[in-house]
A and B are shown apart, each in its own frame.
Chain A
Amino acid sequence: MHRVTLLLVAVVVAPLALAAQQPIVPHDSVKGAIRAVDVRTRSVEVTTGVGFALRVVRLQVPPSVPITDRARGQGAPIKLGELKPGDVIRAVFGGRPSGFVAYTIERVGRMDAGVESSP
């Protein structure tokens, strides 16, 4: 009985304890135009919004973050410095106490050239 109780406690508590060790990083994504790139601080600013309600999402981009270019074929890596203002990117990111951190970035086109609608 005592073992069963311990086992139950372990089953209930272990996932909670594991979750507590993880940083709180809810996933979100954004598709928008690059407003600024700072290679030195490894950050990008993305303009997005709904109608005239606009906002800027600032993302930290650690060196390990995969940055790819749709035009060069699926998964073709590019460097942060190759991203330019006016590029349309899709970024998946999470929140950290220090701000938003990118997990993946894909350049999908240029704002002035147009990008086909996709979810």
Chain B
Amino acid sequence: MTRGVIALVAVCAVVACRQPKPGDPLRGLSAAERARFDSGRAVFDSTFTPPVGLGPLFNASGCGECHENPVTGANGDEVEHHATVFHPERVGAMCDELADKGGPVFQDSVTPALHTALGIDREPRPPIVTVVGGRSTPDIFGFGLLDAVPDSVILSYADPDDRNHDGISGRPNRFFDGRLGRFGRKALVPTLREFNDGAFQVEIGITNPSVPVEGTVAGDSLPAGTDPTPEPEIGARGLELADAFVRLLAPPAPLKQSGEARRGRDVFARVGCTGCHIPTLRTGDNPIAALRHKEVAAYTDLLLHDMGPDLADICFGLAKPSEFRTEPLMGMRLVTHFLHDGRASTPEQAIQLHAGEAARSRDLFEALPAADRAALVAFLKTL
């Protein structure tokens, strides 16, 4: 009997201590939430074809085509293209997001029907476009927790006029209705749900109850007969389940840190990386207990920072070409290409490409003894 109790306690301890692996759900979900997560994974992993609504313009045939490496929900090697027009002289309207042409995402693939009708292989970019930016596929682990961080927490880190004179002046981006943005490499989108719903249409060409109308071909209507599937091409239930999967994906638990990695964590703070890559954010109240009042080791402030002219690409909302949202570092050990367009193949390269507000930290990193640089990178590889 006593042995049985001990065994039971041991099993419970193992289960309780088991850390989420990449692709696992958050711990502490109810049975109903877990069921939605599992059903949502099936939607996320679905492959769409033209008869069920794919396209006519699209970047991928399903969410899981890009968010795939090494597991569903992780990053991918695809790089898509976004384009806008920057008018620095126009007060209040410096950025033309090409909303009259469906927005900045110019799809790289078309269905056979659209190819036959127009003879194109991708959405053409209008001549007014000033810059095209590449966008790599990020992992989306822990994004439900980022969604649950109150605006007030994010805004508490903003210092747009650099009043504390630390050279870092994070500022918020805003969606067009004035709400605080946080999702996307330029932090434009306020909520995870809106990001997901919009992505079905712009990435896969799947209309849905939130975005019930197909996009255009660079502002022109689709030719007749190229989109025969009735709208919406996915219903409210499918949309909700896909959102549940993304929302309830756990951030991968950091790996156990070696002595070197622990030292690297201190170096990371000492050279000032934590000025933008805030180690933890705290979520607020939330209807889902697993998202409510939790610490998330996100290593981001979800604010915009000037990263210098070499990384600059598109404007977006209030974000100028050189401004990017601090990239969350949770799950970084799984990433194989770094920065917003995947141009860096190692963490060291990514750090060396930091400029603007991050120039001081970059310079401090480069001036470190080799052992300290290696320690910092070892720390990043535990995240």
Contact = CB atoms under 8 A, between A and B. Distances in A.
Contacts of B195: 51-52
A108 B213 CA distance: 27
B93 A53 contact: no
Contacts of B188: 52
Interface stretch (A19-27, A95-103, A110-118): A110-118
A35 B93 CA distance: 7
Interface residues of B, number: 39
B179 A117 contact: yes
Interface string B316-334: 0110000000000000000
B168 interface: no
A115 B198 contact: no
A86 interface: yes
B279 interface: no
Contacts of A117: 179, 190
Given A85-B90, A86-B92, A111-B318, A49 B178 contact: no
Interface in B31-50: none
Contacts of B210: 50
Contacts of A34: 92-93
A86 B90 CA distance: 10
Q: What's the dominant secondary structure at chain A's contact region?
A: strand
Contacts of B100: 45, 55-56
Contact of B177 (A54, A84, A88): A88
Contacts of B96: 35
Contacts of A108: 178
B99 interface: yes
B177 A32 contact: yes
A47 B97 contact: yes
A52 B199 contact: yes
B189 interface: yes
Given A47-B97, A52-B184, A53-B102, A86 B177 contact: no
Contacts of B190: 117
Given A50-B210, A50-B211, A51-B195, A56 B105 contact: no
B264 interface: no
A17 to B, nearest CB: 32
Given A47-B97, A54-B104, A84-B92, A111 B178 contact: yes
Interface string A37-75: 000000001111111111110000000000000000000
A51 B178 contact: no
A103 B104 CA distance: 30
Contact of A51 (B93, B102, B197): B197
A109 interface: yes
A92 interface: no
B274 interface: no
A47 B105 contact: no
A111 B215 CA distance: 25
A55 B184 CA distance: 18
A93 B216 CA distance: 23
B228 to A, nearest CB: 21
Interface string B185-202: 000111000111111011
A36 interface: yes
Given A47-B97, A52-B105, A111 B211 contact: no
Interface in B162-190: 172, 174, 176-180, 183-184, 188-190
Contacts of A56: 99-100
Interface string B208-232: 0011010100000000000000000
Nearest to B207: A53
Interface of B: 90-93, 96-100, 102-105, 172, 174, 176-180, 183-184, 188-190, 194-199, 201-202, 210-211, 213, 215, 317-318
Interface of A: 31-36, 45-56, 84-88, 108-117
Instruction: In the A-B complex, list the 10 residue pairs whose CB atoms are closest, starting with the nearest.
Output: A51-B198, A115-B178, A86-B92, A54-B103, A85-B93, A54-B99, A53-B198, A33-B176, A85-B92, A56-B100
Given A50-B198, A55-B100, 20 more contacts: A33-B177, A45-B100, A49-B103, A51-B198, A52-B184, A52-B189, A55-B102, A55-B103, A85-B90, A85-B93, A88-B176, A108-B178, A111-B92, A111-B176, A111-B318, A112-B174, A112-B318, A115-B179, A117-B179, A117-B190
23 contacts: A34-B92, A34-B93, A35-B96, A47-B176, A48-B99, A49-B198, A50-B197, A50-B198, A51-B189, A51-B197, A52-B103, A52-B184, A52-B188, A52-B198, A53-B197, A54-B102, A54-B103, A55-B103, A84-B92, A86-B91, A108-B178, A111-B176, A117-B190
